[in-house]
């Protein structure tokens, strides 16, 4: 296969991959945040302490996390058909991708939210804040850098899942790699798809890191831009001895 033959295949593959990853990320963020917040709120000592809900959500999340993705994808084919009408193609792949990634992200969200200092929740309560305030004005904003880092990991996992989904007729770069690279023994093609996937992952990671750094900067003591060559100017002393 020469470059001219490869181009349209790769072009479609990239678009399909981005489509699958993009939409399943959207659903994963929504689902993962809801479940993650629920796990924290319903836990012992939480705002909406409810052992039953907590246990149920926890078990569902654990099951979702334990199933190998390829098994999960096959297992929920009836559900996928029910939702999309088909089990083949990028749109259909969004369903198992989201179902597979939601529990993964939910646990990461839970961990991030638990890292928020309990004193802040208490402060919000002392001001008369309710659950809504605590979730949207304290927990989520305070955990944002950590949530973004978790999301970066999740998106990268979804990308690798999406390549796997290619084996089951989802389309995208994974499917192209299998059809052309593996089944036709076209090593060059295989190499190109792998490099493309690496590129996508790298770009996602870079963007994620950048956002995290931006968000973390407001919390950092040195808000001034880092100077590599010049020594930073002495800041005026922050202490208010006066």
Q: What is the DSSP string of 143-181?
A: HHHHHHHHHHHHHHHHHHHHHHHGGGT--HHHHHIIIII
Which residue shows structure tokens 């199933």? 67
CA atoms within 13 A on the CB side of 99: 24
Does residue 182 touch other proteins according to CB under 8 A?
no
Measured CA to CA, the distance from residue 22 to residue 7 in angstroms comes to 22
Q: Closest approach of Cβ 235 to other proteins, in Å? A: 9
Does residue 138 touch other proteins according to CB under 8 A?
yes
- The conformation of residue 225, written as its DSSP 8-state character, comes to P
For the chain, how far is it from start to end, CA to CA, in angstroms? 76
Among 44, 119, 228, 233, binds other proteins (CB under 8 A): 119
Q: Closest approach of Cβ 119 to other proteins, in Å? A: 4
Among 117, 195, 207, 232, binds other proteins (CB under 8 A): 117
Does residue 219 touch other proteins according to CB under 8 A?
yes
Phi, psi of 220 (to 5 degrees): -75, 150
Does residue 234 touch other proteins according to CB under 8 A?
no
Among 52, 228, 231, 241, binds other proteins (CB under 8 A): 241
Among 48, 60, 83, 190, binds other proteins (CB under 8 A): 48
- Contacting residues toward other proteins, per CB under 8 A: 47-49, 117, 119-120, 122-131, 133, 137-138, 141-142, 144, 215, 218-221, 223, 238-241
């Amino acid at each position: 296969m020469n470059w001219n033959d490869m181009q349209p295949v790769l072009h479609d593959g990239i678009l399909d991959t981005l489509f699958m990853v993009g939409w399943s990320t959207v659903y994963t963020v929504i689902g993962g945040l809801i479940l993650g917040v629920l796990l924290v709120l319903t836990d012992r000592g939480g705002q909406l302490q409810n052992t039953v809900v907590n246990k149920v959500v926890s078990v569902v999340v654990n099951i979702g996390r334990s199933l190998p993705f390829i098994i999960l994808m096959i297992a929920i084919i009836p559900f996928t058909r029910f939702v999309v009408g088909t089990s083949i193609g990028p749109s259909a792949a969004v369903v198992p991708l989201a179902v597979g990634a939601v529990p993964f992200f939910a646990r990461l969200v839970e961990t991030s939210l638990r890292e928020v200092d309990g004193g802040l929740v208490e402060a919000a309560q002392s001001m008369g804040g309710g659950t809504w305030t605590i979730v949207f004005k304290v927990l989520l904003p305070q955990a944002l850098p950590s949530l973004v880092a978790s999301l970066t990991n999740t998106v990268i996992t979804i990308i690798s899942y999406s390549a796997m989904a290619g084996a089951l007729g989802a389309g995208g770069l994974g499917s192209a790699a299998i059809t052309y690279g593996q089944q036709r023994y076209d090593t060059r093609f295989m190499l190109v798809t792998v490099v493309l996937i690496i590129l996508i992952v790298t770009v996602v990671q870079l963007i994620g890191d950048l956002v995290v750094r931006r968000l973390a900067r407001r919390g950092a003591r040195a808000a001034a831009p880092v100077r590599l060559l010049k020594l930073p100017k002495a800041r005026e002393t922050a202490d208010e001895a006066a």
